[in-house]
Amino acid sequence: MKYVDGFVAAVPAANKEVYRKHAADAVHLFKEFGATRVVECWGDDVPDGKLTDFRRAVQAQEGEVVVFSWIEYPSKEVRDAANKRMHTDPRMQTMGEQMPFDAKRMIFGGFMSIVDE
C-alpha cells in the first residue's frame, strides 16, 4: 500500500523562486531513493482558523507563505530505506545546509493511504 510523507512549512514570499528551485533539485534525489511522486504546493488560499490553522502550525510570520508538500512511496519500507539514505547522502546534507526557509518550524509526518482514488 502507498505511503506518504507530508510536510508543511513557512517560506518567505521573497524566496519563492529559490524554494521552487531547491524543491525541483531535490525531486531527482527523492526519486533516486524510491519516491514515486513529489508534489510541492505554494499557499494561495490559506485562511486563518478559529482554533488552529496551517499558519499557526508552522508559526508563519508576516511576509511568509505556507507551503504544503508530499512525497509518495510504494510502501513504508521503501520510505524508511529512502529516509536512511537521505540522512547519509552528502548531496542531501549539502541541500540541508542551504534551506530557503526556517526548517525548525516545518511540520512533517508519515501516513498510510486508506483511500486513494
Give the total number of structural domains in the chain.
1
Instruction: Classify 68 as helix, strand or coil.
Output: strand
Per residue in 16-66, pLDDT (tens digit) is 999 999 999 999 999 999 999 999 999 999 999 999 999 999 999 999 999
**Cβ-based burial of 113 (10 A; exposed 0-12, middle 13-18, buried ≥19):** exposed
Residue 74 inside a domain? The answer is no
CB 103 within 8 A of CB 11: no
Residue 7 inside a domain? The answer is no
Residue 54 inside a domain? The answer is yes
Domain span holding position 57: 13-62+79-112
Residue 19 inside a domain? The answer is yes
pLDDT for 96:
83
pLDDT for 18:
96
CA 1 to chain centre: 21
Report which secondary-structure segment, H or E, holds 15: none
